[in-house]
Amino acid sequence: MDIPVIDLAPYLEIAGRLSGDPAELSGQLGASLTELCREVSRVLRETGALVVKDPRCSAEDNDRFIDMMEKYFEQPEEFKRLQERPNLHYQVGVTPEGVEVPRSLIDKEMQEALLAMPAELKPAVPKGPDPKWRYMWRIGPRPQNTRFKELNSEPVIPEGFPEWKDTMDSWGYKMISAIEVVAEMAAIGFGLPRDAFTSLMAQGPHLLAPTGSDLSRYGQEGTVFAGYHYDLNFLTIHGKSRFPGLYIWLRNGQKVEVKVPVGCLLIQTGKQIEWLTAGDCMAGMHEVVVTKRTVDAIELASSQNRSLWRVSSTLFAHIASDAVLKPLGHFSSSPLAEKYPSMAAGEFVEQELAVINLKGSKSKA
């Protein structure tokens, strides 16, 4: 199934001229943009994913980022280990392969749900931790005063990469800008004030967290790079990967492979948007596995002498840690609202990480 591509350009053209008054909003947006916003919220609700085209995020920007990350992940292990900060719970720098554990391996409730799934919809069963590397880079400002201070750690820059900071920051900020527009359009589509989500995202602990998977070692069909899970943050965004393999589960239970056209971005719903909408928009379940199409892409890349590291340019956008997570607006009177009690977003993240044994890390989703 191809998820429809939403072009953000028409909304971006008028976004700067929209007034804050909700009563004037639909008149200012006009019928077609109001409908587009409804489409954004509908697709997020039904699929847990959205493919967008943002004129500010080009295919060249994505290429520049992936080129640098491929070059980094291709370095010898001894070099990459210099950027490892296990004492800081991997909140910055590199996380080697074999550290991240997929939730389906430890979460009893999820294991029971998997048992009840029909065979053709079941995710691949991971045998242990994910065989992928990850690099953590904070994006955006953090609050001066907070109950949830991240460890006071400097960003880690590998030696021999003079373009590192610029490339990480510029791609990270661009992807955050795309998320903000989607968050505004989704809020309008869900019948909430335009800034209902973005006002809660300000100064959130956003993380650019690209992964690197070595397909020259782990390129066998069926290998699980990221076991079945949901993301615990608000929305996750990625540029197009050079190797396919991402599967998502739609709200109706159907399992589909995601295809992202060149120059587009993929957005996925996390647990925090589920909380804010009282389950109207659920966190999307997903996995990354080596498929027949991945194997074909490996053969093609090999014959063209291209890198065999699969890089995903993942960015986790979060609700600010001190902001309150609770069903917003009309969602507060939903019959499901009691499943989503009020709590600080930072507390929610700590609670989720405790389940998957990553307490101390603000990030892994």
Enter the tokens of residue 349.
Answer: 């993240």
Decide: helix, strand or coil at residue 159.
coil
Q: By C-beta, is 37 or 226 nearer to Fe ion?
A: 226
Using CA of residue 108, residue 110, residue 111, residue 116, what is the dihedral sign? positive
Q: Quote the least distance from Cβ 317 to Fe ion, whole Å.
A: 13
Cβ at position 165, least distance to Fe ion in Å: 25
Q: How far is the CB of 229 from Fe ion (least distance, A)?
A: 6
Nearest to 257 by CA among 269, 266, 247, 267: 247
Contacts of Fe ion in 212-251 (CB under 5 A): 231
Cα–Cα distance, 226 to 268 (Å, whole number)? 15
Instruction: Choose between 36 and 110: whose C-beta lies nearer to Fe ion.
Output: 110
CA 91 – CA 321 distance, rounded (Å): 15
Measured from the CB atom, is 37 or 49 closer to Fe ion? 49
Number of residues that bind Fe ion (CB under 5 A): 1
Q: Please say which residue, 231 or 352, places its beta carbon nearer to Fe ion.
A: 231
With respect to Fe ion, which residue has the nearer C-beta, 231 or 274?
231
Q: Cα angle vertex 237, ends 352, 60, to 5°?
A: 150
- Nearest distance from residue 225's CB to Fe ion, in Å? 11
Q: Is the dihedral of CA 29, 33, 34, 38 positive or negative?
A: negative
Nearer to Fe ion, 94 or 266 (CB): 266
Joined together, the tokens standing for residue 256 give: 């589909």
User: Nearer Cβ to Fe ion, position 80 or 229?
Assistant: 229
Q: State the nearest-atom distance from the C-beta of 107 to Fe ion, in Å.
A: 14
Q: What is the DSSP string of 226-285?
A: EEEE--SSSEEEEEPPSS--EEEE-TTS-EEE----TT-EEEEE-HHHHHHTTTSSPPPE
**89-108 residues near Fe ion, rule: CB under 5 A:** none
* 319/284 Cα distance (integer angstroms): 17
Taking CB atoms, the residue at the shortest distance from Fe ion is: 231
Comparison of 123 and 189: residue with beta carbon closer to Fe ion: 123
Quick count: other Cβ atoms within 10 Å of Cβ 179? Answer: 25
Q: What is the CA radius of gyration of the chain?
A: 20
How near is the Cβ of 316 to Fe ion at its closest, in Å?
Answer: 8
Q: Which residue, 97 or 231, is less far from Fe ion as judged by CB?
A: 231
Asked if 212 and 72 touch (Cβ cutoff 8 Å), the reply is yes
Shortest Å, Cβ 233 to Fe ion? 9
Angle between helices 164-189 and 22-47 (to 10 degrees): 110
Q: C-beta of 103: minimal distance to Fe ion in Å?
A: 10
Shortest distance (Å) from residue 283 CB to Fe ion: 10
Nearby residues of 18 by Cβ (< 8 Å), 6 or more positions away: 25, 28, 29, 194
Does residue 352 touch Fe ion according to CB under 5 A? Answer: no
Interaction site with Fe ion (CB under 5 A) = 231
